[in-house]
Amino acid sequence: MAENGGLVAEALARGPICRFCLASLLAGELGDDPVGRAGEILREIRDSNSAADLSGGCSVCGGLFEEKLDALLEELTRELEDVEFKSFKSGTRIPPEVEENFDELRASLVPSSPQAIKVTISRYVDAFVVEKFPGTEIDPHRPEAEGLLDFEAGRVSVRFAPVLIFGRYKKLVRGIPQTRYGGEANPDNPSVEEMIGEPAVEAFGGEDYRLHGAGREDVDARMLGTGRPFVLEIRRPRKRRADLERLREEINLKAGGRIEVSELSYSDWGTVIRLKEESPKSKKVYRCRVEVEGGYDLGDLALIERALSGAVISQRTPRRVLKRRADMVREKRVYRVKTWPLDGKSFKIIVICDGGLYVKELISGDDGRTRPSVASLLGKKAFCRELDVLAVVNPTGSSRQR
Ligand SMILES: [Zn+2]
């Protein structure tokens, strides 16, 4: 026995020890496969010294690892079969008294390069998975699959990283919410999230999904132009690659003209964070049919264009969203306003403004909470009757993202 024979003998003098606990004690001295080497050392001792107490068990772990590891590895294998993953990492939960026993032994023997039992077991599991599923890489930071072996509960749980798909959606009809209410699907009036998520979950063999949009439009507003950027998160996917062009066609076909997606590509969490952070900094182009109580004249339209183009709008959180948003005053800029008369009571307006400006209130004034407004400029009641988002322009300018 080339390695620290004295230390092994001392350890054995205190009681039997298994190859996993011995490997943890001598980790730095046992090479690439410390558990395998520890097993050889224990066999060599048994063969050469029949008096050595190697009868069953382990005074550190009570035989826990020899007893349970194989079954847990079998369960892990079953969980990983038929799932696509390129990278893996394992974690373990072991009873605290096992760690305490090990710490005591380590303190009394002072080995030169021990490692925590958790680390020994995790490395053993990682090596097992690499051998069982050739081509798998161990990625300690962002693995596609992560297996936790719980020796206390005798259970395995596996987490699969979600697949993230970037795209842009148009909403071509009014009355469609962006996301599922309370996370519940509603086949009678499906949300944008469902119409994109259901076909995607099927294509990737996932279990659930979530839409992360670059901002949101009101239920009664359409989203036109080049569409709104989004990232769809597909949870617990069994596949990590699918034909995105076919998925795009499938989503659009099933949506039957209610929504339309484009530019689907694989994405990452960085893009999700960017979408959320950039949304308030993006510019939006809105089109709206405005109705004025008591009518208007062409002079009024000229006044609106002049007064609002370039104006800084002081907007207190609209009453209609107070339940979801903090009550505060925001300052948002309107860059350009253009109007077209429709009839004596209503006109069309196009507004180019900062993201986060509530356009319905820019028209109505929301009882003075938004200033100036079309209503305050005319001294009449005015309402936004039909709202369309024509464009969402990200500050980075690029629409195609990875
Ligand atoms: Zn042990």
**Domains of the chain (ranges, CATH numbers):** 5-160 (no CATH), 163-278 (3.30.70.2510), 282-393 (3.30.70.3190)
* Global model pTM greater than 0.85: no
Q: Which residues contact 368 (CB under 8 A, 6 or more apart)?
A: 376
CA–CA gap between residue 45 and residue 66 (Å, rounded): 19
Measured in Å, residue 340 CA sits from the centre of ligand 1 at 82
Predicted local confidence at residue 56, as pLDDT: 63
∠ CA 72-76-77, nearest 5°, is 120
- Please tell me the distance between residue 283's alpha carbon and the centre of ligand 1 in angstroms: 62
pLDDT of residue 3: 59
The pLDDT value given to residue 276: 87
Residue 282, strand partner residues: none
| Measured distance CA(378)–CA(301) in Å, rounded | 9
Separation in Å, CA 259 to CA 144, 248, 284: 31, 11, 19
Hey, what are 29's tokens?
């001295």
3-class DSSP state for residue 370?
strand
Catalytic annotation, residues? 218
CA angle in degrees (0–180, nearest 5) for 305-356-333: 35
- In 3D, which of 5, 1, 32, 18 has the Cα closest to residue 111? 5
- Please say whether the beta carbons of 317 and 334 come within 8 A: no
18 CA → ligand 1 middle, Å = 4
- For ligand 1, the distance from its centroid to the CA atom of residue 85, given in whole angstroms, is 31
pLDDT, residue 2, reads 52
Distances in whole angstroms, Cα of residue 364 to Cα of each of 183, 202, 296, 397: 32, 44, 15, 31
Residue 35 confidence (pLDDT): 95
Query: Taking Cα atoms as reference points, which of 113, 257, 88 lies closest to residue 174?
Result: 257
State in Å: Cα 52 to ligand 1 middle: 17
Spell out, as residue ranges, where the chain has pLDDT lower than 70.
Answer: 1-3, 50-56, 395-402
Query: What are the residue ranges of helices labelled H in 326-372?
Result: 359-364
